[in-house]
Amino acid sequence: MDFSKFMISGILVLGALFVGFDSKAQKGPTLEPKLTEVWEPVPAKVTPGENNAAPSDAIILFDGKDLNEWVNSKGGPAEWIVEEDAMTVKPKTGAIKSKLKFSDFQLHIEWRAPSEIVGEGQGRGNSGIFMMEKYELQVLDSYESKTYSNGQAGSIYKQSIPLVNACKGPGEWQTYDVIFMAPEFTEQGTLKSPARITVLHNGILIQNNFELKGPTEYNRLPKYEAHGKGSITLQDHGNPVSYRNIWIREL
């Protein structure tokens, strides 16, 4: 008998048995299927909207009729132009913000850069959507227009470059669908967890659960300071950018 072959065969058999035993041990014991079923709580019923219409549990911030849900930055009447189911920036009147304040939310908003191309880069169809009045998702005509990448459409301004450029042409309506999770702070006011944001631009993922470094800054590094709920703010950057069909779901 060739003992070397016998020993090798024995080692292979023992190895196979060991692997099989280990694999079964990792899976754990089988259970009665009912023991892994969870029946409570039952998710609330929500009726989906069609063609970007708001679902049944959404808060309508702009339905194309008026600016009743908005005020200017000082709390006075919003002065933007409302026509043809859209609101349009009236340059030099300032930003507007929602009367309601939010923390974690899902936001749907549609926007349109002017069809007439004026300027380039940051001077072309510029506006912005600020979450909690502090964290900017850039609105810009970035269709075949060059600017710094962390300032183009879909960027978290000066913080995160979009994964792709999903811009449509000037004058075309575009959509942002946003999932925003607010930052959390300790009782002492120190940061517990940063804000996070996911954005789909025209149905394409462009920001994937990005952790914000702090509020938006133009010429400084971002730094968190404790705060509570905040409004959705739309920026007046001097360009007649339009918005429509704005709705939000609190999470």
Rounded to the nearest integer, the mean pLDDT of the chain is: 91
Question: What per-residue confidence (pLDDT) applies to 117?
Answer: 86
Q: Does the pLDDT value for residue 3 go beyond 60? A: no
Q: Does the pLDDT value for residue 7 go beyond 50? A: no
Q: Does the pLDDT value for residue 127 go beyond 90? A: yes
Of 231, 198, 237, which is closest to residue 97 (Cα–Cα)? 231
Question: What per-residue confidence (pLDDT) applies to 26?
Answer: 72
Parallel, antiparallel or unpaired: strands 86-88 and 204-211 = unpaired
Banded pLDDT at 28 (limits 50, 70, 90)? confident
Q: Does the pLDDT value for residue 11 go beyond 60? A: no
Of 174, 216, 229, which is closest to residue 199 (Cα–Cα)? 174
User: What is the DSSP code string of 165-219?
Assistant: -----TT--EEEEEEEE--EE-TTS-EEE--EEEEEETTEEEEEEEE--SS--SS
Q: Does the pLDDT value for residue 82 go beyond 60? A: yes
* Dihedral angle computed from the Cα positions of residues 148, 114, 123 and 142, in that order, rounded to the nearest 10 degrees: 10
Whether cis (ω within 30° of 0) applies to the bond prior to 41 is: yes
167-208 pLDDT, tens digit each? 999 999 999 999 999 999 999 999 999 999 999 999 999 999
Question: What per-residue confidence (pLDDT) applies to 25?
Answer: 55
> Which residues are within 8 A (CB) of 247 and not within 5 positions of it... i.e. 6 or more apart?
54, 58, 59, 60, 61, 107, 108
Map residue 157 onto helix, strand or coil: coil
Q: Does the pLDDT value for residue 4 go beyond 90? A: no
CATH code of domain 59-250: 2.60.120.560
Question: What per-residue confidence (pLDDT) applies to 27?
Answer: 79
Measured over the CA atoms of residue 188, residue 191, residue 192 and residue 196, the dihedral's sign is positive
CA atoms within 13 A on the CB side of 207: 27
Query: Could you give the CA distance from residue 73 to residue 163 in angstroms, rounded to a whole number?
Result: 32
CA distances to 38, 116, 216, 221, 232 from 133, rounded to whole Å, are 39, 29, 10, 17, 6
Question: What per-residue confidence (pLDDT) applies to 118?
Answer: 85
Burial class (CB in 10 A: 0-12, 13-18, 19+), 155: buried
Q: Does the pLDDT value for residue 61 go beyond 50? A: yes
Question: What per-residue confidence (pLDDT) applies to 145?
Answer: 93
Taking residues 54-75, report their average pLDDT. Answer: 97
Parallel, antiparallel or unpaired: strands 174-181 and 196-201 = antiparallel
